[in-house]
Structure formats: C-alpha cells, structure tokens
C-alpha cells in the first residue's frame, strides 16, 4: 500500500493502521510518486499494488463444481447491465 507522505487525512491514517494490522507492507511516498503509480487516475492519497485473483471462464465451470464436492454455490446472472443493481 502506498500512502501520501505527510498527509493527515484521518481515512489515510485508518487505512495505514488497518493494513499494518493485517501485516501488509505500507510505504509513505511523495504525491508525485502516487500520481505516477495511478497513471492519471484520481487516487486521494492512497494506492495499492496486488496480485489479481485467478479468473475462470464458463468452460471450466463443470470441473469447478465437481471439485467442490457438493459445496458449490453457483449464481447465474443474465443480462445484468449495472452491477450496482445487485445490492
């Protein structure tokens, strides 16, 4: 987790404390470094690098369900236009 150095924003402090509590590496860096990492996207003083979880496609579904040995939960969505509507 990269956080803006010298920032006193209470949310940034909260993010830092929670990340450290979970043994996640936290570094305070200059705003220009955050700007570079964010690539022009608004970051509000925080950014994180992570390894994305593996994804599967529908061709692997049968094997995944079988491997779950009866404990699979499958949610099928068709025609969902806005994921915010799932709430």
DSSP state of 29: E
Closest C-alpha to 37, from 45, 81, 68, 65: 45
Place of tokens 């692997």: 60
The count of C-alpha atoms lying within 13 angstroms of the C-alpha of 9, restricted to the half-sphere facing its C-beta, is 11
Structural domain range at position 68: 1-77
Two tokens, residue 73 = 């939960």
Between 37 and 86, residue with greater pLDDT: 37
Domain assignment of residue 85, yes or no: no
For 42-79, how does the pLDDT look when each residue is reduced to its tens digit (9 = 90+)?
A: 889 999 988 999 998 889 999 999 999 999 998 887 77
Domain assignment of residue 22, yes or no: yes
Count of structural domains, the chain:
1
Domain assignment of residue 12, yes or no: yes
Domain assignment of residue 3, yes or no: yes
């Amino acid at each position: 987790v990269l956080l803006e150095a010298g920032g006193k924003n209470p949310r940034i402090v909260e993010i830092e404390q929670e990340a450290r509590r979970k043994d996640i590496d936290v570094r305070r860096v200059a705003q220009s470094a955050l700007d570079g990492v964010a690539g022009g996207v608004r970051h509000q003083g925080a950014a994180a690098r992570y390894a994305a979880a593996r994804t599967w496609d529908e061709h692997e579904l049968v094997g995944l369900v079988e491997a779950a040995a009866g404990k699979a939960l499958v949610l099928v969505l068709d025609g969902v236009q806005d994921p915010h509507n799932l709430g």
